[in-house]
Every structure is written in C-alpha cells, then in structure tokens.
C-alpha cells in the first residue's frame, strides 16, 4: 500500500526523509551510500516531496489535481523553508540569504560555473578519457601460446572433494583434451578461454543472466555445483592471485530490471567486460525500453560510453515463434553513427576473439552478439588452438573449401547458423560452382573486407543473400544496401529465405524442416 513496500520483499532498510529538509536529505544520502559500501546490500530512500509545476513547467496540474495543487501553491519552497530555518537559528541573516540568491541567479544568467571544479582522478573515480575519439578498428589480440595452454589447463581444474554432475564431468574431461591439443575447441571452451585470458591480463569479467553460470544450453558451466552440498566453485576465480575480478550471476526473471542494472554497471567500469545473456534472444523484447533509450543512444544523447555485451541466443531450429529469433532486425534498425556493434560469430575462435576485442580496443561501444544454440555442439563448429592464440576477429570469412574462383557462377552471402546448412548441403551435392561468404559483423558493415573477398569473384553476376529469418525480419531490409554496395555493377542481388511473416517462426517441426530445406535448396539451385 506504500511505495516502499517493495523493499520488504528483500528485507532492505528504508530511510524516509522530508524533502523540505536539505540537511536531512544529504544525511540520508550519505548514510545510504555508506550502508551499501559497508554491507554490500540494497537500501531505499523515500524522498517525501512534490512537483511544484506538475509534470513539467508548461503543465497545468490544477486541471486534474486541484485540491493538492492548491495546497502546494500555498506551501513555501524547500529553499524558503530552509532559509527561514537558518535565519531563525541565527546561522545567517535575511540580508545574507538575499545576497546568496542574487549571486546564484547572476551566475546562472552569465552562464558561469555554479559548482566547484571537479576533483582530480583518484582510485575512486573512473577515467574514460583514454576511450575518447579512438580508432576502433585496430587492436592486438595475440596471446602467448604457452601461457594460453597453461590457462586452458587451469580452467579445467576443480577440487577433488567437489563432486560435480556426471554430464558436467564429461564436459570438463573433454575440455582437458582440448587443453592438451587432443581435441578441437568447442564454443563453451573458447568462451571460457576468452574470459581466462582477459582475467590474466588484468581485466575484470562480469556475466549475468537467468542461467549464465550453466548456460541456457548446457554449454558454459563456468560455475560448478557440488552434488552433495550447497557449494559452488568457479575455476575462473582461481587462475592466480594477481588476476582480474570475476563475477558470474544467475539473475532474477526480469529482463528489463537486470539489463538496466548491467547497463548502469557497464557505464561505470570500462575495465570490466560486462555481459548480459538472454535465456533466449527472443526474451530480450522484455527489455526493449533499455535497449532503445539507453544502450543504442546513450552516448549520442548524454555522452555516456558503455561497453556492455548482449549475448542473444538465436537460430531457427523448429522451437516455435517464442524460441527462435533474437529479432536481429530491431538492432540493425537502431544502428547509426557507429553507436554499437552487431555481430554474428559462427566459430569458437570467432567468439573468443570477439569478446577479447571488446576489451582490447580503445573504444567502449555496446556489442550485440547474435549467439548460437545448435552450433554450440555442431561437429563443424570447432576451432584449432592456434586459431585462438593467434589471429583476431574476422568481420568477414571467405570461402573455406578448395574451389576454383574462376568456376564460380554464384556467390551466397549469409550470417549465422544457416551457413552450416548451406555448407553441408553443398558438399553433399558435390557442387564446386557456388561460393559461400559469411558476414560476421553486420554493423558497422565491413565494406573494405567484403570488397576484398569478393574481388576474386568479379566475373560473377548472380549474388544471393540467404537467411533463415522471414523476409521482413533478419538482416535483409536493414542491410541490403550494404550488400549491394560491394557486388559488381552488372550483378544482381536477390533474397533467399522465408517469406514475410507476422510471427518470427512456425510452430510445427515438420513445417519448419520443409521451409529450411526449401531455402537451402533454392540458394544452391
């Protein structure tokens, strides 16, 4: 029944303070900050006050709330209440009050500074200057191979008296083989190694989401749960004593609240790789206000830089309209002025380098990752250890099979999981006259790299953009002008994918399979 009743849910203390008492307000604020810093717990401040001019200065609140606003109109302002109190206590004189008010108004009229100079940077302040106006295309991602192998072994270690689930134990056994070079790296291990190498270099890691410790699709297992006791062990927190800080949180079931919190966290900590993972990319629509108002435009509106990463599981696998689409088209529609990055990594090495790039570059811009589901365990979606320790994120990946460019009659451009469907079908058909190009970064669009890769197909006039999503969704509408820009002038670019649909996906597996096979067949016909 009262606005702070929500605090009872988490047993947080509440400070009720009168807005007409500035000293009490300042005291309440200081006490709340000290409480939070000391106990690391939430605390509420209930500031009992009012809006003198209603919703805004041009509003007329008497039209809808006449009784209350007649009382407010007769009530002195907080400045007047405080000034009268100071005069009554003999702290200042009436003349001094008038002088203070006039001096302040004069400074406002002159556009002068009304607050003291900012204090110099110290351990409690955040320095963003190094990220201003920096070139964001170049970075150094190489990592010492021997040190990489040492960390790969380290992230597989856990106490002998900490029994874990048999399925998780099997995953860690496989990761040990990856660390030894006896098995190719899968997505989960590559992601863990991105965190490990950054922690080793002194960066901090923070991952939150509804199943972030385990991973929605049972692939991450950064948090190991004791099967006999209520204990958890995080190998990433035990690399060495000089490593960065690692936090992995399973969040509450509220996309909007959690994403808003992580946005705020990321705007204050440029040295922390802050990640929010949606359980399914579809569910991010519950936080659309945060994405529209803050993540996509916060720097342009308020100059607030932010390196927040969104991991949005996406892919058409017959799971229906609520578990198939991260709504890629919405993020692309928000892109302008290099305000954020939208990437669709398709290999373990790519996600490794993409996450490292987010911290190693001298810029902090939001990163939208259209992450996979079935690719987490796809036999072709694996990487060699040298691909991780060397190299960097590739904005575009060219043809990987040994086909003769001169014999190519069609070039297919695509992004994400559909690439593997096309690749497997092409190999099955034994086709050598169709090249498949992956666009791994859809924004900012890598024009130079696309142009370089397509240069060996300058004779080709048949270009295809192939996507799993319906025509009115996915990358086609928002990015086709980019696709068109780099193909030969005499070439044609056509769309291959699902027809336009109000729903992201169909609800029947049989129909899904028919649609998927049809678009693959059309692209390769």
Number of structural domains the chain divides into = 3
Please indicate whether residue 137 or residue 224 has the higher confidence score (pLDDT).
Answer: 224
Per-residue pLDDT band at 113 (split at 50, 70, 90): confident
Q: Are residues 382 and 481 in the same domain?
A: no
Phi and psi, residue 201, nearest 5°: -90, 5
In a domain, 470, yes or no: yes
Q: Write out pLDDT tens, residues 286-314.
A: 999 999 999 999 999 998 999 999 999 99
* 119 CB burial (10 A radius; 0-12, 13-18, 19+): exposed
Q: Are residues 372 and 406 in the same domain?
A: no
Q: Write out pLDDT tens, residues 479-522.
A: 999 999 999 999 999 999 999 999 999 999 999 999 999 999 99
Q: What is the pLDDT at residue 486?
A: 93
β-pairing, 410-414 with 434-439?
A: parallel
Q: Are residues 351 and 384 in the same domain?
A: yes
Q: What is the pLDDT at residue 203?
A: 97
Per-residue pLDDT band at 118 (split at 50, 70, 90): low
For residue 257, CA distances in Å to 208, 262, 303, 333 come to 12, 9, 22, 23
In a domain, 127, yes or no: no
Q: What is the pLDDT at residue 233?
A: 97
**Mean pLDDT throughout 246-263?**
95
Looking at the DSSP assignment, which residues form a beta bridge with residue 185?
383
Phi and psi, residue 514, nearest 5°: -65, -45
CA distance 359 to 134: 13
Q: Write out pLDDT tens, residues 435-480.
A: 999 999 999 999 999 999 999 999 999 999 999 999 999 999 999 9
Q: What is the pLDDT at residue 56?
A: 79
Q: Are residues 367 and 419 in the same domain?
A: no
Minimal CA–CA distance to 197: which of 365, 359, 370? 359
Which domain covers residue 88, as residue numbers? 5-110
3-state secondary structure 397-457: ECCCCCCCHHHCCEEEEECCCHHHHHHHHHHHHCCCCEEEEEECEEECCCHHHHHHHHHHH
Residue 278, domain CATH = 3.40.50.12470
Q: Lowest mean pLDDT of 62-66, 116-120, 440-444, 482-486, name the range.
A: 116-120
Q: What is the pLDDT at residue 181?
A: 93
Q: What is the pLDDT at residue 119?
A: 66
Residue 492, domain CATH = 3.40.50.11610
Q: What is the pLDDT at residue 121?
A: 64
Contact between 380 and 424 under an 8 Å Cβ cutoff? The reply is yes
Q: What is the pLDDT at residue 453?
A: 97
Contacts for 403 with CB less than 8 Å, ≥ 6 apart: 432, 433, 435
Q: What is the pLDDT at residue 122?
A: 63
For residue 155, CA distances in Å to 2, 208, 234, 341 come to 48, 19, 9, 29
User: Contacts for 484-489 with beta carbons within 8 Å, 24 or more apart?
Assistant: 485/447, 486/447, 486/450, 486/451, 486/454, 487/411, 487/454, 487/463, 488/458, 488/460, 488/461
pTM of the model: 0.90
Q: What is the pLDDT at residue 58?
A: 81
Q: Are residues 375 and 441 in the same domain?
A: no
Residue 137 has pLDDT above 90, yes or no: no
DSSP string, 131-182: GTT---S-------HHHHHHHHHHTT---TT----HHHHHHHHHHHHHHTTS
Final residue belonging to a domain, choices 53, 78, 110: 110
What's the chain's average pLDDT?
94
Q: What is the dihedral of CA 291, 297, 301, 306, to 10 degrees?
A: 80
Final residue belonging to a domain, choices 390, 422, 439: 390
**Mean pLDDT throughout 92-112?**
94
Contacts for 513 with CB less than 8 Å, ≥ 6 apart: 318
Contacts for 291 with CB less than 8 Å, ≥ 6 apart: 259, 284, 330, 331, 334
CA distance 408 to 435: 7
Residue 277 burial (CB count, 10 A): 25
Q: What is the pLDDT at residue 278?
A: 95
Q: Are residues 416 and 370 in the same domain?
A: no
Which contiguous run of DSSP H or E holds residue 85?
A: helix 78-88
Q: Are residues 384 and 404 in the same domain?
A: no
Q: Write out pLDDT tens, residues 410-427.
A: 999 999 999 999 999 999
User: For a pLDDT cut of 70, what percent of the chain falls above it?
Assistant: 98
**Mean pLDDT throughout 22-44?**
96
- What's the gap between Cα 123 and its chain centre? 26
Q: What is the pLDDT at residue 308?
A: 98
For residue 133, CA distances in Å to 128, 330, 335, 395 come to 11, 27, 18, 22
* 344 CB burial (10 A radius; 0-12, 13-18, 19+): buried
Contact between 316 and 503 under an 8 Å Cβ cutoff? The reply is no
Final residue belonging to a domain, choices 334, 362, 390: 390
């Amino acid at each position: 029944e009262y606005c702070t009743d929500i605090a009872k849910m988490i047993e947080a203390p509440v400070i009720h303070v009168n807005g007409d008492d500035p000293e009490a307000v300042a005291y309440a604020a200081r006490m709340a900050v000290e409480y939070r810093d000391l106990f690391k717990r939430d605390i509420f401040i209930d500031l009992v006050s009012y809006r003198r001019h209603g919703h805004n200065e041009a509003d007329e609140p008497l039209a809808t709330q006449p009784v209350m606003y007649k009382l407010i109109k007769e009530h002195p302002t907080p400045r007047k209440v405080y000034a009268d109190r100071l005069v009554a206590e003999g702290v200042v004189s009436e003349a001094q009050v008038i002088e203070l008010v006039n001096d302040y108004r004069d400074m406002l009229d002159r556009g002068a500074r009304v607050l003291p100079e900012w204090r110099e940077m110290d351990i409690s302040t955040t320095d963003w200057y190094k990220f201003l106006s920096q070139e964001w295309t170049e970075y150094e991602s190489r990592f010492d191979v021997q040190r990489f192998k040492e960390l790969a072994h380290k992230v597989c270690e856990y106490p002998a008296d900490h029994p874990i689930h048999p399925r998780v134990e099997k995953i860690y056994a496989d990761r040990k083989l990856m660390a030894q070079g006896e098995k190719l790296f899968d997505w989960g291990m590559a992601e863990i190694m991105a965190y490990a190498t950054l922690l080793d270099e002194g960066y901090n890691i923070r991952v939150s989401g509804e199943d972030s410790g385990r991973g929605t699709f049972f692939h991450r297992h950064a948090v190991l749960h004791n099967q006999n006791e209520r204990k958890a062990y995080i190998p990433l927190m035990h690399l060495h004593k000089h490593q960065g800080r690692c936090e992995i949180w399973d969040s509450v079931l509220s996309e909007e609240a959690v994403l808003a919190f992580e946005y705020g966290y990321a705007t204050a900590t440029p040295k922390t790789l802050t990640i929010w993972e949606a359980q399914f990319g579809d569910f991010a629509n519950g936080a659309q206000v945060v994405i529209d108002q803050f993540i996509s435009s916060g720097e342009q509106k308020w100059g607030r830089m932010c390196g927040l990463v969104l991991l949005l599981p996406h892919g058409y696998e017959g799971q229906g309209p609520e578990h198939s689409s991260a709504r890629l088209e919405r993020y692309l529609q928000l892109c302008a002025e290099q305000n954020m990055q939208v990437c669709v990594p398709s290999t373990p090495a790519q996600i490794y380098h993409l996450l490292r790039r987010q911290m190693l570059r001298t810029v902090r811009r939001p990163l939208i990752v259209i992450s996979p589901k079935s690719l987490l365990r796809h036999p072709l979606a694996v990487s060699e250890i040298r691909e991780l320790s060397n190299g960097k994120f590739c904005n575009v990946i060219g043809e990987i099979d040994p086909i003769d460019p001169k014999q190519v009659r069609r070039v297919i451009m695509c992004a994400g999981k559909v690439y593997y469907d096309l690749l497997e079908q092409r190999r099955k058909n034994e086709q050598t006259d169709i090249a498949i190009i992956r666009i791994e970064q859809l924004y900012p669009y890598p024009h130079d790299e696309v142009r370089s890769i397509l240069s060996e197909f300058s004779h080709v006039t048949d270009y295809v953009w192939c996507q799993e999503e319906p025509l009115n969704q996915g990358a086609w509408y928002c990015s086709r002008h980019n696709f068109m820009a780099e193909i030969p002038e005499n070439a044609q670019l056509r769309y291959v994918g699902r027809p336009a649909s109000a729903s992201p996906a169909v609800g029947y597996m049989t129909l899904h399979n028919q649609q998927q096979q049809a678009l693959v067949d059309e692209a390769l016909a």
